Amino acid sequence: MRSNYTHFSRPLFRLLSDNQIEELHLASLQILERTGIAFDCREAIDLLDAAGADVSDPQKVKIPSYLVEQALRTAPKTITLYTREGEPAIVLNGRTSHFGGINSTELYLDPGTNQPRRCYVEDIADMSRVMDALPNIEWQIHVLSCSTIPGAIADKVALLHSILNTSKPVACGITDATSLRDMLQICSVVAGGEKELRKRPFFIATSEPISPLVQGKDAMEKSLLCAEKGIPNAVFSAPLAGATAPATLPAVLALVNAEFLSQLVAIQLKQPGAPVIYGGHPTIMDMKTTIFSYGAPESALLIAALTELGHYYRLPVIGTAGEADADTIDAQATAEMTYQILLSALSGADFIHGIGEMYHGQMVSPEFVVLGSEIIEMVEVSMGGLKINDETLPLDLMERVGPRGTYLFEKHTLKHFRKFWMPTIFDRSVAKDESTRRCHDLLKEKTIKILKTHQPRPLPEELVRELKKMEKSWLKRAGLERYPERRHQAAR
């Protein structure tokens, strides 16, 4: 029996003190009360007006702090996500990090040619199957920039092919509320009805305030519709330090936080208890290239700080990790990815997206997702912490073996060595020759094997036919008979 003994089950990490978090919170409240937020959505303005906000100038709506506190009280502190079959998959409660990958962007890094090219519908399906096969990738998200699908239907098509190729939860970039209604129809068909989807959501919407300090019409309408339907909604803006936000990091944090809180107020006024995921994807503008830098260390630092703010509010937090500015899988890409994954895990973001995204958000790579899965598993070893007891600290054994002894043949070794982490794509071989399969070879082999062999849990044939009928109607609406065929030309 031990007394006065403290055990850490995982590493402790704090970027901000309690006083710093409170200072940022109060700064955001001042922005909301004095600077104001531009609202372009009439319904949101009316909700705020009825609740006591100053909406005399819709371009500078002033939100009193008591409305923020009220919204924070009614927003759920825990959100459960399900598989498409309705089985519990992820609980967002501030205690465990769940990593997700990106399955579509403008470009696709082809593992067969090692060249980037335009992204096709088949590539979305392939990316989804790869992520479905990797246990460390627990969900996936698609964005709106798949270059071979007409923009009017791109979000619905990407959602459909995600659902067909993974049973894991799916988050989505969404064009507008009209498109969201179509997407909710897809998900309701899969879930067995709108009520079933509300009870066991596998679909997560996204809504993006516009920096600085604008709640656009489309973003707000999407969020209010999600509130009405009870759909989890990740709200995160993406300010650019030095361009759409001040060039100092604390100012960026206060700005992002104010943008989130202002939308949260409108959402909770629409439907108290509507599930909302806190977040932001801030970074710096690279002043040499003017890019939105995905690999900047400042971005990972800002997101870690936002995670602490979100947990201060006791809200589930969407984070970002596993991205790179690099356009090929090299030392730069690996360093950027690893730094982000480690910092995200340490800060404790709940719902982390971005694994597999490269070239500052313009390209996805199935190999990069596989690499990300391996790095997540490595980081998990560190996050497991150390449990110290008589079994893990066997002083009697050490005394018996003594100096110059070996532990190789001890029962204690036999009992514990299988707990060592073993890589699947990192080369630890000693003898090196021309036949040695190095990391890049093992990574490609694993990726190609998944693409060739992995099949997700199938949906019932009748359900697939109904979904394909819906897809055919979208193609007709876009003036197409079929999607552009996949070609293997390089593209930039």
DSSP string spanning 52-95? Answer: T-B-SSGGGBB--HHHHHHHHHHS-S-EEEE-TTS-EEEEESSS
Tokens of 423: 């890589």
DSSP 115: E
Among residues 159, 167, 166, the alpha carbon closest in space to that of 143 is found at 159
Contacts of residue 362, defined as CB under 8 A and 6 or more positions apart, other chains included, come to 105, 106, 107, 145
Residue pLDDT, tens place only, 423-457: 999 999 888 888 888 899 999 999 999 999 999 99
393-428 pLDDT tens trace: 999 999 999 999 999 999 999 999 999 999 999 999
State pLDDT tens for residues 225-266.
999 999 999 999 999 999 999 999 999 999 999 999 999 999
pLDDT > 70: what percent of the chain?
Answer: 99
Global pTM value: 0.94
Please count the structural domains in the chain.
Answer: 1
Coil/strand/helix, residue 122 = helix
3-class SS string, 426-465: CCCCCCCCCCCCCHHHHHHHHHHHHHHHCCCCCCCHHHHH
Within a domain: 290: yes
CATH of the domain at 64: 3.20.20.480
Residue 224: what pLDDT? 98
pLDDT tens string 65-111: 999 999 999 999 999 999 999 999 999 998 899 999 999 899 999 99
* Dihedral sign, Cα of residue 429, residue 433, residue 435, residue 437: positive
Residue 39, in any domain of the structure: yes
Q: Is the residue at 3 inside a domain?
A: no
Report yes or no on 165 lying in a domain: yes
Contacts (Cβ under 8 Å, ≥6 apart) of 344: 97, 99, 300, 303, 304, 307, 319, 320, 321, 352
Q: pLDDT tens digits, residue range 185-201?
A: 999 999 999 999 999 99
Q: Is residue 7 part of a domain?
A: no
Count of beta carbons in the 10 Å neighbourhood of residue 66: 10
Q: Is residue 303 part of a domain?
A: yes
Token pair of 46, please? 């009316």
β-pair type (233-237, 363-364): unpaired
Asked whether residue 396 is domain-assigned, the answer is no
Task: Note the helical H segments in 134-248.
Answer: 151-165, 177-191, 194-199, 217-229
Q: Establish if 2 belongs to a structural domain.
A: no
Listing DSSP states for 376-439 in one string gives HHHHHHHHT----STTTS-HHHHHHH-TT---TT-HHHHHHGGGS---SSS---SS--TT---H
- Residue 254 lies in domain: 12-385+421-492
Q: What is the pLDDT of residue 1?
A: 58
CA distances to 89, 131, 169 from 455, rounded to whole Å, are 19, 11, 17
pLDDT for residue 487: 62
Preceding peptide of 212 cis, ω within 30°: yes
Which of 374, 234, 235, 248 is closest to 301 using CA atoms?
Answer: 248
